[in-house]
A = this chain, B = another copy of it.
Amino acid sequence: MKTRRTTIKDVAEAAGVGVATVSRVLSGGSASPRTAERVLDVAARLDYRPSALGRNLRRRRSGGIGLLLPDITDSFYARLADGVLGCARSAGEPVVLGATGDDEEREAELIGTLLEQGVERVIAVPCGGGETWEPALRAGLIVVFAHRSVTGRADAPGPPAVSACATVPAVLADDRAGVRTALDYLTGLGHRRVAYLGGPGQEQRLAVFRRTLGPLVDEELIVLARGSRDSAYAAAAGLFQRRPDLTAVLAGGNLLGEAAVLAARELDLRVPRDLSLVMFDDVPWAELCAPPLTVIAQPAQDIGYRAAELVLRAGDQRPRGVLLPTELIVRGSCGPRGPSRSPR
């Protein structure tokens, strides 16, 4: 009993006009008011919905926005996705979601799938570098980076050629200001041994961390985890055990922050008495935590929304990038430097 969908041809016949006319009426081309009305009427009566399949083939691209995130399970990326979804909905565009797991290979694979699908607009939190994105750009993909951007890797061999990725617009939170504010706050409280607990793709933040801390920076206090919860916990626990003299931690993401709280609790470190903690990204549970966490809020949803706006407004001269403000929200996880747990 599967009844064939009504096609443009059906509408044309029923309205007694040619398919070209129907197409024109429906996509706002020129047509006489009388014809237009009749076509619209018939189309409505037959419940005609143009198939995106035919259109896409003809246009040699499928509408739709690709969205590549490290992990949809991470509250930050989920909110970012929500922003994209919101903007896409008002534009009537479907969103194709892919999780990269912060793995270059998987990212490349997903880009391939999108390309195959004819998706040509992508919003990505990139994990791969130029080697991943340059080919995609060459293939005609319209890309907007969100939250992170592809920086010419310092460790890349060969001449520092200007990467095509540099021309990709990026919607970023103002990490620089965020890190600075947090560090000012912590050093203002008297902390001198401040650790950084980072995740993948945080070169930018790390650089600011180093620069801001200046002579106070201690490379041993900088720890990078991979994307997973386990890895984050291991990094935090390892750091705390290795360096009992540290008095404050800046966690570069809510997963890292969670891990820090857990590890601190496990090692019987009292927050904020023994250890002050500032976390990047304000999540709902930051307030529920004991003590409530002091955080650097990032406008995750806005980032997504703006990125979607940018990627949809292709062709126009697009701004090179957008920097959205962060905000330090002081709750209860930081205190003045107490007596160090084990002074050197």
Residues of B within 8 Å of A62, CB to CB, are: 52-53, 62, 117
Give the Cβ gap from A44 to chain B, nearest Cβ, in Å. 14
- Copy tally for this chain in the complex stands at 2
Q: Once the chains bind, are A117 and B289 in contact (CB under 8 Å)? A: no
Residues of B within 8 Å of A5, CB to CB, are: 139
Residues of B within 8 Å of A52, CB to CB, are: 62, 116-118
Q: Once the chains bind, are A85 and B56 in contact (CB under 8 Å)? A: no
Q: Which residue of B lies closest to A292 (CB)?
A: B290
Q: How far is the CA of A122 from the CA of B50 in the complex (A)?
A: 20
Q: Which of A61-116 contact B (CB under 8 A)?
A: 61-62, 64, 67, 71-73, 75, 78-79, 81-82, 85, 89, 92, 94-99, 112-116
A2 adjacent to chain B (CB < 8 Å): yes
Residues of B within 8 Å of A112, CB to CB, are: 49
Most chain B beta-carbon contacts within 10 A, residue among A53, A114, A115, A261: A53
Q: How far is the CA of A54 from the CA of B59 in the complex (A)?
A: 11
Q: Which residue of B lies closest to A258 (CB)?
A: B284
Give the Cβ gap from A304 to chain B, nearest Cβ, in Å. 10
Known pairs A94-B113, A99-B82, A140-B2; A54 contacts B51 (CB<8 A): no
Beyond the given pairs A52-B118, A64-B117, A73-B78, 16 more chain A to chain B contacts, judged by CB atoms under 8 angstroms and listed by A's residue number, are A2-B140, A52-B116, A54-B57, A56-B56, A56-B57, A72-B72, A72-B82, A89-B98, A89-B99, A92-B113, A94-B98, A95-B96, A261-B288, A283-B285, A285-B289, A288-B289
